[in-house]
Amino acid sequence: MARMKFICDAERCIECNGCVTACKAEHDVPWGVNRRRVVTLNDGVPGERSVSVACMHCSDAPCMAVCPVDCFYRTDEGVVLHDKDVCIGCGYCSYACPFGAPQFPTNGTFGLRGKMDKCTFCAGGPEANGTQAEFEKYGRNRLAEGKLPLCAEVCSTKALLGGDGDVVADIFRTRVLHRGKGSEVWGWGTAYGKPAGGGTGTEQKSGAGTKS
């Protein structure tokens, strides 16, 4: 098996925040902490793009490199996890992460900044799999239950894919090969059909900047 990976298809993401909500509910994530967020570029402008962002479980994770107490570890499936019993909440990982994945509860053991919390790829933590202790610290361990991360499985447009990197890459590749470009990708062209006579309506303008 290859490494577990997320891919978010910016052509499909409709900024519904279903992934964010599902994650918060599934893991009982505390107030103020968002393990996953949807980022929108050019919000409100035709051609805007949204992408769902969380820990990318980097192959060469900078958070692991900078952690002064070495609380991070990587599973056999390439999921980057951490031990909250070792974490001192210093925040170095937050500065090192290019995706803003590490989150800190505002009322934790260390007063204003508690121990780090981040996406676990629904793989829990170092506590025994599927136990209450693991749930309370890290949330559900769906991988040990034979499931994939809920954010990806719940995504209504299947913009967010999660799982074995080879498999999700194949799905994404197939999709890109089958779909057209511009407004045909997703949106007006798909919903209402192509404009008669090759019109140059708004949908054409909105698709002008998209990649093929």
Binding residues for another protein, rule: CB under 8 A, are 1, 69-71, 73, 75-77, 81, 83, 85-86, 123, 125-131, 141, 143-148, 152-153, 155, 158, 161-164, 167-168, 171, 174-175, 178
Least separation in angstroms between residue 43's CB and another protein is 27
Decide whether 43 or 70 has the Cβ nearer to another protein: 70
Q: Are 104 and 34 in contact (CB under 8 A)?
A: no
- Rounded Cα distance between 89 and 116, Å, is 6
- Rounded Cα distance between 168 and 148, Å, is 12
Q: Are 94 and 81 in contact (CB under 8 A)?
A: no
Least separation in angstroms between residue 62's CB and another protein is 19
Decide whether 42 or 129 has the Cβ nearer to another protein: 129
Decide whether 53 or 168 has the Cβ nearer to another protein: 168
Please give the single-letter amino acid code of residue 150. L
Residue with tokens 């499985």: 153
Decide whether 68 or 198 has the Cβ nearer to another protein: 68
Extract the tokens encoding 195: 């404009």
Q: Are 139 and 26 in contact (CB under 8 A)?
A: yes
Least separation in angstroms between residue 191's CB and another protein is 15
